[in-house]
Amino acid sequence: MANILLLNGPNLNLLGSREPDIYGHETLTDVEASVRTVLENARHSLRAEQSNREYELIDWVHDARDDHAAIIINPGAFTHTSIALLDAFNAYEGFVFEVHISNVHKRESFRHHSYIGLRADGIIVGCGVQGYELAARRVVTLLSQTD
């Protein structure tokens, strides 16, 4: 059994009502519930956090160094701007999966670059909110291989 951390960055608290043509109608509560189901069915536990503040996300990555085997993160717009968040992930040794609900590569060019992608073990893009569940399944597979 392992602890997994799910992080969502800025504006993702508005999922379900924010630009639903891009991000869909499901809420962050729905997302967290589906990830929790996947992980708990595999006897892992989930801590889920969301923040609009860069420093808070960084602090949670630091906390996870002690006792979390994997982090799944949608860093929102910090994906494209935050060297500080990349540095935090570079100091973290567990698995890292980056999720983007939309296909960022079909959107504005400033969304095409990801700092976190320089560290992530995998990136899931453009699969809607199902991407979070896919990331959780991948984490379960990897953890079963490291038992």
100 is a catalytic site residue: yes
111 near ligand DQA (CB under 6 A): yes
114 near ligand DQA (CB under 6 A): no
d(Cα 21, Cα 17) in Å, to the nearest integer? Answer: 10
77 near ligand DQA (CB under 6 A): yes
82 near ligand DQA (CB under 6 A): no
Three-state DSSP at 102 gives coil
Q: Which stretch binds ligand DQA (CB under 6 A): 40-48, 97-105, 116-124, 134-142?
A: 97-105
d(Cα 84, Cα 49) in Å, to the nearest integer? Answer: 18
2 or 104: CB nearest ligand DQA: 104
CA-wise closest residue to 74 among 44, 116, 110: 116
3 or 30: CB nearest ligand DQA: 30
Q: How far is CA 102 from CA 22, 25, 61, 62, 105, in A?
A: 6, 13, 24, 27, 9
Which residue in the set 69, 76, 92, 124 belongs to the binding site for ligand DQA (CB under 6 A)? 76
Shortest Å, Cβ 11 to ligand DQA: 5
d(Cα 45, Cα 36) in Å, to the nearest integer? Answer: 7
Burial of 21 (0-12, 13-18, 19+ CB in 10 A): exposed
17 or 41: CB nearest ligand DQA: 17
55 is a catalytic site residue: no
d(Cα 7, Cα 51) in Å, to the nearest integer? Answer: 8
Point out the catalytic residue in the list 44, 92, 100, 132: 100
Site for ligand DQA, rule CB under 6 A: 11, 74, 76-77, 79, 100-102, 104, 111
Return the active site residues.
23, 100
